[in-house]
Structure formats: structure tokens, C-alpha cells
């Protein structure tokens, strides 16, 4: 699920990158390092109207025909019914862990109130199936899919009421599953959720205002992103406080926060572009990370956004600060930054106007692709966390590569991509980064939040035209399995046909 192309200009540059075989193996990493893959609830589960689940804002959005292919997640990859089969594939590939999210509207159908026993049973079954096969569950509480009832009642994340309801939902999850789930993430990349949903209006709840966003029914792009971000931080802090006070001592688990992360570099060596690059870091990343580490928003945001920026009370600042045991990072690409000063008054600008920087894509990919491969940003990203944020524990929660829906199983570009990023990750770990795990996006082909079924990120191909949604391993699945199993004296995925060798790479 990636939202890259709405947020910057695309100016690919040719890079040399060719990797048909890998010298890497998990033996190169610390013995405790966790390797996994992931999905999210609306994108993989299906069963959208079964067993008591009610609509989320994503159901409403998709059913309104908002995606390019007019698709929905009603069936998706049908993991709700096929979870045992999928866990067996995870065993075959050799995963240590599986990252997934829980559907709030499956567990608590109206956002608050009674717990749905069928939803409870499904997640218990999935968790137990994972653990019985030695696979760690890493659970995200919110991956974009707010119950529609809460959106209708009080505007969802726009209202401070969300803090109480999100905390109550989290309490159910900790109480019911925390004896087996040790790794909890509150929110998935809220920086992108906020920008896509409340500034440019591309994704639900599709709020924006002219001229900054799409043709939205309502919204205010100049202020709503800042309000929603503030409520996200307060909700996270409330949940973390609950977990630490009531559950962590007994369950011995960890609570984290996930962010989408670009690595930014200046387009030129000019002072203007260098300063713009720091603003890009502050606006995209520091917007959430600075309050979590130091208790307040970056100075450049307060200066440029002015009175639009909410403020923390002393008590709120204290609760937000250090309310994490780890950070999850979704990292896919690096961007160049060019200064782009905006003379408009702060109260007339949106987030991007306040940032005053133009973002340009770097790298190259397959012919016709708008998704370049540039793995070199992984190492400086982790160095930045080490130098600026005190080297906290980190899990790379998402890293992956999209190919068209008619891709072959011979997904050489994805293999090139994953290998390059893992090499840079290893360099960072050897240089002292406190990174503790890596998850590919995605384990299966899923319903992608930007374009439905038009692109594929999975290690396993899903035939969405087949009534049984047959899964087949791609070359990347074999490659990842070989990487994971080298230390065990075995190689590859068992009992299945290996696709033909890679026939091309980036020159």
C-alpha cells in the first residue's frame, strides 16, 4: 500500500544496480534479528460483511468507486478463511514473524461497545496458528481502517473523542491477545494517513479544500492535517500509558509507533536546498518523532505553520514524550529536495506550502515504471535515527517493490530491490544501528490502498481471477527463503517448482 506518487514530482535518474545472486544470508545479522513479512486487515482479510464486521471508512471509500480499478477489499486475499494455508506458506518460506493489523470494526463493530465474539475468535485462531508454528505475531492496532460509525458520529480522528475510543479498543486487544502478542504498534504511518486523507484528499476520509486537494465533499487542507496529527499523537500516548500501567509488567511486551520514512538529500549544494532538506525531514518525520522523543514539534514547523500548529499542555507533552519502546519504519525510497519558497500567508497554505520544498524521485526501475530502485537511503536513514533520535530500537516494518498486475512469477526487479536494501541495512547494523528486525511488504499480493489490484507487492502471487485465490511463490519468495534458510543448512521453499533464473537486471 503505497502513496508515493501523489506527493512529489518524478524525475528518475539512471543508476547501476544488478544483483542476480546474493552473498547475504541471515547469518550476517545478529542471531536475535527478526525477519518477517506483513499485510494489513482490510487489504488481506476479505470477509468484509461476515461474522458481525461492520464497514470502515475504507469500505465506504472503495464501494463509492474511488479507486482506479473500482475494486474493493470485500474479498481481497481472503485470509479470513485461508489463514491456515497462509501460515503454512510462512513456515515454508522460513519467516520468524508476521506483521498484520487488526480490524477495529471486526472486533468492536460500532467502534465502541460490545466485543464481537466472531472477530475475537478469528484473531485468537490466527495468533494461535502463528505461535504453534514458531512465528511471532507483530500486531498493528490501526492501519487506516477507522470504523465508519465513529467517522459519522464525530468526525473520527478530527475529534479529541477518538482518544478515548481508541484506548478502549486497544484495551480489548491487550486484554484478549497480550498473553501471546509481545509486539504492538499503535498507528501505521500516520504521517501519510493524515496527508492523503486530510490534505490532498486522495484517500479516506477524503477531506480536503481547493486548491490543495482533489474534489472533496468537505475539509480544510490548511488546518485539518495538523489537528489530526495531534490527535494521533495523543491517542498513541494514551494507549502506551494504558499498556505500561496495566499490561506490560505482566505480559512483558513492547509498544511502538510506526512512521513512513523517505530519505531526503538536497538537489544541489546550495544553502537553500540544504535548508529545504532539513525542513522536509522536520515536516515528514519530525512532525511525529520529535514530540515522541523530545515532547514538542520541530521549530521549523512551528515557525512556518504558525498558529495552525496545535500545542501540547505540559501534561500532554510529558505523556507523549518517550511513549514508545521501539519505532517501526516503512521505508521504500529516497527523494531529492529543492527549495520552493511560498510567499502566501501561513493561514492560506497547506502542509506542503508550509514545508516550502519540492520533492523529486531518485533512481531507476523497469521500463515504464515510476518506482525506481534506490536502496542507498536505508543506511543514512538508520544513521539519522542514531544521531538525531538517540538510536532507539527499530523494526523495518515495510520495504518492498510494486510490479504490474500481469507480472510473471519471475520478479527479478523485486529481488534486486530487496537484496539492495538488505545490504544497506546490514551496513547500518554493523555501524551500530539498533535495528532489530526487517519485514517485507507484502507477504501476499493484496488489495493495494492506492490502486486496488493494479499493482502487486507480494512474495506470493495471488490469482484474483481464481475462485480459490490460488497462491504461487514468486522468484522473490524463493530468494527470501534461501536467504533465511542458509544458516539452517537448507535452501529454498520445499516441494514447489522454482521459476526460471533471472533474465535481466538494472544496468
- Of the residues 45, 224, 398, 448, only one is catalytic, namely 398
CA 263 → CA 97, 273, 284, 369, 464, distances in Å? 26, 15, 10, 20, 34
Is residue 316 among the annotated active site residues?
Answer: no
**Greatest Cα pair distance in the chain:** 64
Which three cell numbers, joined as nine digits, stand for 478? 524463493
Is residue 300 within 8 Å of 354, Cβ to Cβ? no
Which three cell numbers, joined as nine digits, stand for 433? 544501528
- Of the residues 45, 79, 151, 189, only one is catalytic, namely 189
Which three cell numbers, joined as nine digits, stand for 211? 486548491
CA 22 → CA 2, 18, 94, distances in Å? 27, 10, 17
Please, is 479 exposed, middle or buried when counting C-beta atoms within 10 Å of its C-beta (0-12, 13-18, 19+)?
buried
**b/e sequence 418-430, b meaning 16+ C-beta within 10 Å:** bbbbbbbbbebbe
Task: Give the whole-angstrom CA distance, residue 162 versus residue 504.
Answer: 50
Is residue 383 among the annotated active site residues?
Answer: no
Task: Give the whole-angstrom CA distance, residue 307 versus residue 330.
Answer: 30
Task: Give the whole-angstrom CA distance, residue 58 versus residue 448.
Answer: 11
Strand, helix or coil at 224?
A: helix
SS3 of 68-136? CCCCCCCCCCCHHHHHHHHHHHHHHHCCCEEEEECCHHHHCCCCCCCCCHHHHHHHHHHHHHHHHCCCE
Task: Give the whole-angstrom CA distance, residue 445 versus residue 471.
Answer: 9
Which three cell numbers, joined as nine digits, stand for 358? 519540492
Task: Give the active site residues.
Answer: 189, 398
Amino acid at each position: 500500500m503505497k502513496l508515493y506518487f501523489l506527493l512529489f514530482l518524478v524525475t528518475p535518474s539512471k543508476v547501476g544496480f544488478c544483483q542476480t545472486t546474493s552473498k547475504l544470508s541471515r547469518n550476517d545479522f545478529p542471531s536475535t534479528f527478526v525477519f518477517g513479512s506483513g499485510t494489513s486487515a482490510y487489504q488481506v482479510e476479505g470477509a468484509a460483511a461476515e461474522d458481525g464486521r461492520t464497514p470502515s471508512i475504507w469500505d465506504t471509500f472503495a464501494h463509492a468507486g474511488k479507486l482506479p480499478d473500482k475494486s474493493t477489499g470485500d474479498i481481497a486475499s481472503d485470509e479470513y478463511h485461508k489463514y491456515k494455508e497462509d501460515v503454512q506458506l510462512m513456515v515454508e518460506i522460513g519467516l520468524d514473524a508476521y506483521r498484520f493489523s487488526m480490524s477495529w470494526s471486526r472486533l468492536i463493530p460500532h467502534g465502541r461497545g460490545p466485543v464481537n465474539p466472531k472477530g475475537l475468535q478469528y484473531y485468537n485462531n490466527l495468533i494461535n496458528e502463528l505461535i504453534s508454528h514458531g512465528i511471532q505475531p507483530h500486531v498493528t492496532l490501526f492501519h487506516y481502517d477507522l470504523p465508519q460509525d465513529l467517522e459519522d458520529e464525530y468526525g473520527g480522528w478530527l475529534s479529541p473523542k477518538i482518544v478515548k475510543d481508541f484506548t478502549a479498543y486497544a484495551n480489548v486487544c491487550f486484554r484478549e491477545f497480550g498473553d501471546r502478542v509481545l509486539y504492538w504498534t499503535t498507528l501505521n504511518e500516520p504521517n501519510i494517513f493524515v496527508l492523503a486523507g486530510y490534505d490532498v484528499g486522495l484517500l479516506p476520509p477524503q477531506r480536503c479544500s481547493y486548491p490543495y486537494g482533489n474534489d472533496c465533499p468537505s475539509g480544510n487542507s490548511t488546518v485539518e492535517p495538523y489537528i489530526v496529527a495531534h490527535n494521533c499523537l495523543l491517542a498513541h500516548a494514551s494507549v502506551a500509558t494504558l499498556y505500561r500501567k496495566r499490561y506490560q509488567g505482566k505480559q512483558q511486551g513492547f509498544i511502538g509507533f510506526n512512521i513512513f520514512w523517505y530519505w531526503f538529500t538536497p538537489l544541489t549544494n546550495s544553502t537553500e536546498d540544504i535548508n529545504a532538506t532539513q525542513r522536509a525531514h522536520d515536516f515528514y518525520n519530525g512532525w511525529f518523532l520529535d514530540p515522541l522523543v523530545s515532547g514538542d514539534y520541530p521549530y521549523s514547523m512551528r515557525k512556518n505553520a504558525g498558529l495552525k500548529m496545535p500545542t501540547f499542555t505540559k501534561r500532554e507533552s510529558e505523556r507523549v514524550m518517550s511513549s514508545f519502546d521501539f519505532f517501526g519504519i516503512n521505508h521504500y525510497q529516497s527523494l531529492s529536495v529543492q527549495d520552493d519558497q511560498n510567499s502566501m500567508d501561513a493561514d492560506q497554505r497547506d502542509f506542503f506550502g508550509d514545508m516550502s520544498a519540492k520533492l523529486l524521485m531518485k533512481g531507476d526501475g523497469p521500463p515504464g515504471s515510476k518506482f525506481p530502485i534506490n536502496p542507498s537511503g536505508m543506511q543514512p536513514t538508520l544513521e539519522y535515527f542514531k544521531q538525531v533520535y538517540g538510536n532507539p530500537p527499530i523494526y523495518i516494518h515495510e520495504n518492498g517493490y510494486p510490479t504490474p498486475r500481469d507480472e510473471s512469477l519471475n520478479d527479478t526487479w523485486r529481488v534486486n530491490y530487496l537484496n539492495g536494501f538488505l545490504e544497506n541495512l546490514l551496513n547500518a547494523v554493523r555501524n551500530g544501528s539498533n535495528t532489530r528486525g526487517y519485514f517485507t511488504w507484502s507477504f501476499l499480493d493484496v488489495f493495494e490502498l492506492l490502486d486496488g489490484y493494479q499493482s502487486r507487492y507480494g512474495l506470493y502471487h495471488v490469482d484474483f481471477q481464481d475462485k480459490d485465490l490460488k497462491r504461487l511463490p514468486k522468484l522473490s519468495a524463493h530468494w527470501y527463503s534461501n536467504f533465511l534458510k542458509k544458516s539452517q543448512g537448507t535452501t529454498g521453499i520445499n516441494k514447489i517448482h522454482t521459476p526460471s533464473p533471472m533474465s535481466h537486471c538494472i544496468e
